[in-house]
Structure 1
Amino acid sequence: MDCCQTVSHLKGSLCCQLLLFFIWLSSFQDAVALDTVFEQSYVPTMPELAKPPSSGIFGPIEISPAVIPHYPDPDEPFPPMYPTFPTRYEPVLTGKCPVKFSAISSIMDKTASDCSQPLAALVGNVICCPQLSSLIRIFQGLYSFNSAKLVLQNSVASDCFTDIISILASRGANSTIPTLCSVKSSNLTGGSCPVQDVNTFEKTVNTSRLLEACTTVDPLKECCRPICQPAIMDAALQISGKQLTLDENKNLVGEPNHIDTLSDCKGVVYAYLSRKLSPDVVNTAFRILSACKVNKVCPLDFKQPLEVIKACRNVAAPSPSCCSSLNTYIAGIQKQMLITNRQAIICATVFGSVLRKGGVMTNIYDLCDVDLKDFSIQAAYGQQGCLLRSLPADVMFDNSTGFSFTCDLSDNIAAPWPSSSSISSVSLCGPEMSLPALPTSETFKNPGCRCGGELKFLVPIISFLVFGTLLY
């Protein structure tokens, strides 16, 4: 227990307790706001790995949050603030959406919690946007029960989409999530897909095979040895009229009309699955498919690391100036968003390749003690980072403690340094799918208790500050 009494001991160790981070601003007289996110005057051409997939093949819809929160000026005094919690209210609906939302009330609540007002931008890429995407598809399935159509007409889609966002906002969700997650009413319409009704769909697609493949999606196997994803792709190809295999689909790059049609038809397939499976079952399946997608890329924005390259280009041993420059740069990255452990591996590799391309040949991650969790949001005055697990996660809400999410403390491991300045892929499947080995007591760079466990962030909605005290 004594080894976990101070936050400074957490760096380089695994703590045996479930740590609870409270952000009660009224309890802190010395809390300091996080610095404003660095302005990006120059954005380098990053490896393709750092860019989101263009076709949305691995998820219900494209998940590309572009809104990063800007924190208040640390020099300005804070007004008195106390913990407050979302108040549910009756939303003003259009009255033109022919769907009883009560049938998916639990999914609506989950989405509102995952996209809660103070956290939506911080967890958008990993938690909020995948859940919102799933809700949109589940809603399409619900709509089809009364219409025999798997898509909505444009006018109805607009009214229903407005109602969905209003209901979510009334339950505490951030009203900006359509922009954050690049979701709009047209996602409900089926776009250019030629098959949009249930009867034609069932005559065209082997629905038994589709349902068998996607009723139970294995979260540990689907991303590397997919079963549901190929079935969805095959069904989308059939209803799109393009008899191509998944490998042949690679040749469609550069033909936006074909890609758009295929993406629209995938939306119809998702809607059909939502019609046939229970909301909870299909929500779990869609979230796993989205996790497969988001864990393939680094969602962080990197600015050109000129100062880091200048300070670290010729170092061969620990250098205070190099490590100071690197830590300052990484401090800017840490203000962007929460990422998963697998995303952190990709981000560290991508950033390292940029440094190598600039002439930094030495593994400065090792020299400067940079861990995977250093690439995600930090808490406790920057001494402890939080990486989410690669499996689908949710934000939890409690009336007494506020919003919380579970961090993975098994990733107290060194960030991987790339072997070259040019990378085309980072495989996390097959023999490489396991994360790097955990440090042992002999390899700890800093003292601490050698224990496993999880870290739980609790975030009352009073602010974006990620400071806190430790409770045992």
Structure 2
Amino acid sequence: MEAKETNLLPDTSPNSAPQPFIPLLAPSPMAAPFFHNSTPKLSVDNLLRTTAVDCWASFAPFLANVICCPQFEATLVILIGQASKDSSLLALDSVHANYCLSDIQQILGSQGVPSDLHDICSIRSSNLSEGSCPINDTIGFESVVDSSKLLAACSKVDAVNECCRQICQSAINEAAKNLVLKDGGLMTNMEINDTTVEYSSTVNSCKNIVLRWLSSRLDSSSAKQVLRGLSNCNVNGVSDGGPNVMLHNAPLGEGNLKVSVDVVLQEEAELPIPLKSGPTVMIDAVGTVVGWPKELVIFPTTKTDD
């Protein structure tokens, strides 16, 4: 009887041992899924989640200048700074700035943030550009600024001492002014004066460039702590007291601080340092600067990840 040919059996060679016939199987559905274990370059989700919490629709208008807007501004700075690691650009052109701000607003809106957050915080797409600063890339920045000195001053911001000693703030101001002076054509044709509108505007634009560069050299968590620490100094308006420090034509006094009052929790509470003429209770002091005992000022603390 002749053997019938079949296509179901594998071909075997008489010179080698036959191989087992095992069909190619797909991975078991119960097998462990594949995960990408590399560390992402930017924790965008964490940044946006924090911003969404700080800018929740019910509270954003009331805590805008204190909590929400500083976090929103820090998020934008960090996003551009971290992106510069690939692009080397510390600013966005008008087209990309519009798309970027719109996309971020839509993402935050889906997480309960008011749709007019950019209006609440006075953020425009132009805030994501270089403005009038003559430098907008990392190569140009590092050719002008002493980057090691800047990092040494701002890699960590002490929440208590920075507001009084202004170590990082001074380094940022110095770096920004160096960037302004880079534009030789502009500076040689006008007298540099800190009170001129044009010069002040250019310095502010360059400060944004400095902050983005700092954010590119720090991880996103550290950058957020630095930026929020700096914004707290601006929000709180803290200034150390001393024998020569005056407040409303009266000595501030040793151990006291100047603080600006933005939000009041106990409206009828008396001011700890009464003014000779002016408000005596907290609700009447909103929008003004008052004296406050240093030991009663609680500065925000930064938590470090284990």
TM-score (norm 1): 0.44
Q: Does 1:434 align with 2:295?
A: yes
Alignment of 1:4-403 (within 5 A): 103-241=43-181, 252-253=194-195, 255-296=196-237, 346-347=260-261, 376-377=264-265, 385=266
RCO higher in structure (CA 8 A, sep ≥6): 1
* Deviation of the 1:167 alpha carbon: 0.9
Q: Is the 8 A contact 1:211 1:273 kept in 2?
A: yes
State the Cα deviation string for residues 279-318 of structure 1 (Å, max 9, x = none): 1101011001001001118xxxxxxxxxxxxxxxxxxxxx
Aligned to 1:443: none
* Deviation of the 1:434 alpha carbon: 3.2
* Deviation of the 1:131 alpha carbon: 0.3
Two-structure CA RMSD over aligned residues (Å)? 3.0
Mind listing any 5+ residue stretches in structure 1 that lack a counterpart?
Answer: 1-99, 244-249, 298-341, 349-374, 378-384, 387-410, 437-472
Q: Which residue identity lines up with residue 433 of structure 1 in the other structure?
A: K
Q: Which residue identity lines up with residue 46 of structure 2 in the other structure?
A: S
Q: Which residue identity lines up with residue 194 of structure 2 in the other structure?
A: L
2:177 match: secondary structure:
helix
Aligned to 1:416: 273
Distance 1:120 1:421 in 2: 30
* Deviation of the 1:184 alpha carbon: 1.1
2:126 match: secondary structure:
helix
Change (3 A) 1:273 1:124: same
Mind listing any 5+ residue stretches in structure 2 that lack a counterpart?
Answer: 1-39, 184-191, 239-256, 280-287, 298-306
* Deviation of the 1:227 alpha carbon: 1.1
Aligned to 1:381: none
1:288 match: secondary structure:
helix
Q: Which residue identity lines up with residue 206 of structure 2 in the other structure?
A: C
Distance 2:260 2:228 in 1: 20
Distance 1:279 1:141 in 2: 9
TM-score (norm 2): 0.66
* Deviation of the 1:239 alpha carbon: 0.7
Distance 1:234 1:135 in 2: 24
Distance 1:268 1:145 in 2: 14
Greater helix share, structure number: 2
* Deviation of the 1:259 alpha carbon: 0.9
For the pair shown, the structure with the greater C-alpha radius of gyration is: 2
* Deviation of the 1:269 alpha carbon: 0.3
* Deviation of the 1:268 alpha carbon: 0.2
Aligned to 2:14: none
Q: Is the 8 A contact 1:120 1:128 kept in 2?
A: yes
